[in-house]
Structure 1
Amino acid sequence: MQTLIQLIDTYPAVLALAIFCARIVDVSLGTIRILVGFRGYRLLAALIGFCEAAIWVIAASKVIGHLDYWYLVIAYAAGYATGNFVGITLERRLGVGRELVRIISYCSACNLADALTRRGYSVVELAGRHRGEASVQVLYVVDKRRRMPELLRLVHELDPAAIYTVTDVKSCHGEDVHALDAAAGPGLALRFKRK
């Protein structure tokens, strides 16, 4: 213990930097754990939580054991703030899970359903009407999150006026979205396009 105090007195920046880095890792893991847990990856979330808790205990004990060193508290808080940013950025890049895109296209000549199907997306198409007159294409596409930027860019290129929303999918059974066939009910024009 005496050696640690001497080390802190001699090189206080080293411990502050170690606490800062530990908090970045710990909070980043926590952010990722929450997001992957929400998407149904329970085992992965538990494993991440174990690592997160171990790192937190070590970092917190160093700060609590040396509260008279104000710079350790600053390093701890700064690591926490930076860890939130890093965790969200990492989770976006990992692209874990699937998302549902609902697309409304007023452009009949664009034929988004066929264009997206040719590009390898599984598309469910419903015929719709806008204000009872103009026909519209209503499309549903469920795909991996990492492919979403490419899909949205493609939709914008094919029909810049298209309206779309993106929703996280907690669970998805099967490769195609057959559940939409049953959910559509009778009387709706529904076309399922396979890859």
Structure 2
Amino acid sequence: MSISMAAVAASMAVVTGGGLAVGTGQGTHAIAHEHFVAVADSDTYRAVTYDTAAVPAGSQVTVVSHPASDGGTRVALILEGVQPDRTFGAHVHRNRCGASPGDSGSHYQNVPDPVTPSTDPAYANPDNEIWLDLTTDGHGDGHAVAAVGWRFRAGEAASVVVHEHATDTHPGHAGTAGARLACVDVPLS
């Protein structure tokens, strides 16, 4: 069963109480809808998979972000056709996707940790970052929605990275979610 954009809109409506609010003057809306391509077969890196067993070439990703009227931001992630019955971590990253998994840089943080990589739960947490962990169904489809009380700074958030496992919250490991399996460019800021 495929998850539709209507499901994303409904999920975001629950979070925001008002839907997507496209064209209301509340700020920039970002949407990416792509098919993942194996990194070896890509030269644009808009949506790349670094692990084709977990995130097969041809699987789909959709990211929708919009500012809320309360000054916050809502971000939704949909994965379709990835590894079934699996939990993935996913986060907004600072740089665009590239040939190497590390090209996407560190997690975007509203209040940046002065130490990188950031594993201090005071900074690496779902209130200071966008965490979009999800578990796929038997078809490899899943979605997540995050709501935070801030907006992205211009030019500092450029992609969503799908990680190996759910995000850790323990000191010294906070914000980590294993290997970077796939990446999609999203014009978040």
Tell me if both proteins adopt one fold, taking TM over 0.5 as the criterion.
no
Q: Give the alignment's TM-score, normalised by structure 1.
A: 0.23
Q: Of Structure 1 and Structure 2, which has the larger fraction of its residues in strand?
A: 2
Q: TM-score, normalised by structure 2?
A: 0.24
